[in-house]
Structure 1
Amino acid sequence: MKFGSKSIRSKSIIGLDMDSKEIRAVELKGSKKKPTVTAWGRINLPEGVVKDGRIIQLDKFSDQLSQFLLENSFKTRDVILGVNNQDVIIRFASFPKVPEDKIKSMIKFQAQDYIPIPLEEMELDYIILGEKNTEVGQYIDVVLVAARKRMLNDFILTFTDARLTINEIDTTMLALGRAALSQSSGGVFALVCFNYDIGNILIFKDTILGMARSVSISQSLNMPLLKDIHNKKNMEIIADILFNEIKASVSYYKSQTGYDIDKIFVLGPDSNQRLVASRLKDTTGLAVKVPEPYKYLEKHVLKQQKNMTFKATDYVASISLALRGLEV
């Protein structure tokens, strides 16, 4: 999705995502077909700088971001940013088919029926999923993605203060969806992705997105999770929160489509994703896998950093974002 910026393809780009705990980023150069990792890293954020995926203390965040990029030898100033918070709304809609040059204006005119916040407060984008014939004519199925302008402007302001250019703002959950699709052989599957603020459930049939839901993790826990995020008990709590959302999502999806879920993919920001995957396998009884869509990049690192080996599975969102910004 494109919010608040002009989409520009670059020969070198940073993919960056974050939550209340940390900033994560990967710098790629080259092309989509032949990318090379030139820098990567993560930095813990002081408590209160980011909350639930939104920047709260703009000046402190800008300082942390500048320090992070300097310490990890990032060179380019161009960024594809991933956002994942409750200010991002995803809805599924169907509209009467119109000529291609009229689709954008038609969707903008009718989208308010699906978005619970005044559209003048939102940036709106969409994905056309396909077409269908109904008794009353041809329709197009669309995913609407809306994001609060104020939230986006806060990101743009802080990145500008850090002397960075945001080429595009994408939704982290859809970036992870693209990564998961590259590992799917078809069928119906659920992608469960999470960071330290929010969890997302996406259901795909073959390559088509059929459902997307979000659940707050930090608020649901009602405890100082970030102080001990690597505690196994906390990962089990996160898995249980996600399980309840999966159960409701799968049940609703089947009632609407008649399809059962074949498997579950799990993607998180670090090795904790395997603990969550194991817990979900036990609770759901389904085949659960942690995909490794970008493992090949571990052999395409320009220069290893001191005391830190690049592990692609820890940066799936950042890599997917960066690949979106590279030249074809």
Structure 2
Amino acid sequence: MQLLKSADAVGLELDTGIIRVVSLSGVKHAPSLVAAGEITIPEDAVSEGVVADVDAVASALEELWAKARIGSREVTLGISNQGVLMRLTNFPKIPDNKLSQALHFQAGEYLPISPDEMVLDYAVMGEIDGDNGRLLQILLVAARRDLLDKSLQAVQKAALVPRVVDAVPLALMRTLPAERLKSSLLLADISNGLTTLLLVTDGIPRFARVIPHSLKSYACELDKPLEELLQAVCQAAASAQDNRLPGEHASDTGQAAAGSPSVWELALANDIRSSIGYYMTQTEEVAVDALIISGRGARLAGLTEYLQAEIELPVEIIDPLVNIKDYIRVKDVDLQRKGPDFAVAIGLALRGLEE
């Protein structure tokens, strides 16, 4: 009989070209980071959040576990792809013991996936008054079963146990201070393979979207290998910090250049702006207070300044360590510099501490 939880909580992110893992111990209100690591994988092994090469991913996971010295083999696995959908909806208030069955039966009315093809989860976020009585505010999260199965196969082939599967945008929310979540925020995770958007108000996820403007799409626009682009732009961000003039941003070479944003930057800004606009037209919510960016793309030289000017909102880079009580210095991983890269994995590990 286990009276005290002794195993660490492990968050696992499968991204295009790279896998990241973080291990936390303690309790969710005062966690300690005890291990972290990353390993490169072939670019085509994971594409737009979907595992395409199970063997390559499984082999890399085995190597990563040994390299990062991760003690637990139970993981919280993050998922984000075009087959992961989230929707906040109002539902008649019914007894708790009937709610799950009713939601699964009616899920097809709310989500454009056949119930037979989806894995569905939900969370009751609160209650509101309706025309005919009280209504439950319910967050529905669904994943296409065929796309999820590939990730699960890779994890299990590496002798890991996917204890929890969590949507990437929800993981990012957990890295923010509680008082920060009281405002209205748009979270944008700009990763190698995808960019995910989540609009959250008063701690409740209101609107989520996946957009195609990833770092890989940026590399394709520049006709460069992904890793070459990443090294160039991140070296520029780290080294020149800031011989830039106000308004300057990253160019094709990763060096600051004023006045001529790339097609990728323009498209990213336009999609973020249009997503905010769509949300505002569909609700009566107050305006968005800030944009918070994470992922490796958050370290692109000048991107923060460019987005702030284009979208006319305060733009911040996420600090996923803000809720961490303490952490060890991880070999080969500079968490102070690479914090935005590991935000998803940290948020996933935080979910593990909740279980």
Bin of the TM-score, shorter chain as denominator length: 0.7 to 0.9
Q: Is the alpha carbon distance of 1:162 and 1:22 closer, same or farther for their aligned partners in structure 2, counting shifts above 3 Å?
A: same
Q: What is aligned with 2:347?
A: 320
Q: Is the alpha carbon distance of 1:88 and 1:42 closer, same or farther for their aligned partners in structure 2, counting shifts above 3 Å?
A: same
Q: Does 1:192 align with 2:210?
A: no
1:257 counterpart letter in structure 2: T
CA contact (8 A) 1:97 1:138 kept: yes
Q: What is aligned with 2:126?
A: 130
How far is the alpha carbon of 1:262 from its aligned partner? 1.7
Q: Does 1:109 align with 2:105?
A: yes
Tell me the distance in 2 between the aligned counterparts of 1:226 and 1:212: 26
Q: Does 1:233 align with 2:247?
A: no
Residues 218-227 or 144-153, more deviating: 218-227
1:128 counterpart letter in structure 2: V
Tell me the distance in 1 between the aligned counterparts of 2:179 and 2:302: 20
Q: What is aligned with 1:68?
A: 64
1:310 counterpart letter in structure 2: L
Tell me the distance in 2 between the aligned counterparts of 1:20 and 1:60: 12
Q: Please give the per-residue CA displacement for 1:285-317, whole angstroms capped at 9, x wherever unaligned.
A: 21111232424648431xx34454433443111
Tell me the distance in 2 between the aligned counterparts of 1:117 and 1:185: 30
Question: 3-state SS of the aligned residue for 1:315?
Answer: helix
Tell me the distance in 2 between the aligned counterparts of 1:327 and 1:135: 35
Decide which of 264, 271, 281 is 1:245's aligned counterpart.
271
Q: What is aligned with 1:310?
A: 335
CA contact (8 A) 2:18 2:38 kept: yes
How far is the alpha carbon of 1:55 from its aligned partner? 0.8
Q: Is the alpha carbon distance of 1:268 and 1:240 closer, same or farther for their aligned partners in structure 2, counting shifts above 3 Å?
A: farther
CA contact (8 A) 1:28 1:322 kept: yes
CA contact (8 A) 1:122 1:146 kept: yes
Question: 3-state SS of the aligned residue for 2:180?
Answer: coil
Identity %: 29
Residues 129-138 or 119-128, more deviating: 129-138
Query: Aligned pair count?
Result: 318
What TM-score comes out, normalization by structure 2 length?
A: 0.81
How far is the alpha carbon of 1:200 from its aligned partner? 1.8
Tell me the distance in 2 between the aligned counterparts of 1:267 and 1:179: 11
Tell me the distance in 1 between the aligned counterparts of 2:106 and 2:226: 41
Q: Does 1:159 align with 2:165?
A: no
Decide which of 77, 83, 90 is 1:87's aligned counterpart.
83
**Which 4+ runs in 1 deviate beyond 6 A?**
none
Q: Is the alpha carbon distance of 1:298 and 1:33 closer, same or farther for their aligned partners in structure 2, counting shifts above 3 Å?
A: closer
Tell me the distance in 2 between the aligned counterparts of 1:144 and 1:210: 11
How far is the alpha carbon of 1:52 from its aligned partner? 0.9
Q: Please give the per-residue CA displacement for 1:197-243, whole angstroms capped at 9, x wherever unaligned.
A: 21122222222222111112248655456243323436865543332
What does 1:12-23 align with in structure 2 at a 5 Å threshold?
12-23=8-19
2:88 counterpart letter in structure 1: F
What does 1:146-295 align with in structure 2 at a 5 Å threshold?
146-180=142-176, 182=178, 184=180, 186-218=182-214, 221=218, 223=221, 226-230=226-230, 231=233, 232-233=250-251, 238-258=264-284, 259-269=286-296, 272=299, 275-295=302-322
Q: What is aligned with 1:40?
A: 36
Q: Is the alpha carbon distance of 1:322 and 1:307 closer, same or farther for their aligned partners in structure 2, counting shifts above 3 Å?
A: closer
Tell me the distance in 2 between the aligned counterparts of 1:94 and 1:157: 34
How far is the alpha carbon of 1:183 from its aligned partner? 5.7
CA contact (8 A) 1:187 1:206 kept: yes
Question: 3-state SS of the aligned residue for 2:335?
Answer: coil
Residues 174-183 or 139-148, more deviating: 174-183
Question: 3-state SS of the aligned residue for 1:278?
Answer: helix
User: What is the Cα-based RMSD across aligned positions, in Å?
Assistant: 2.5
What TM-score comes out, normalization by structure 1 length?
A: 0.87
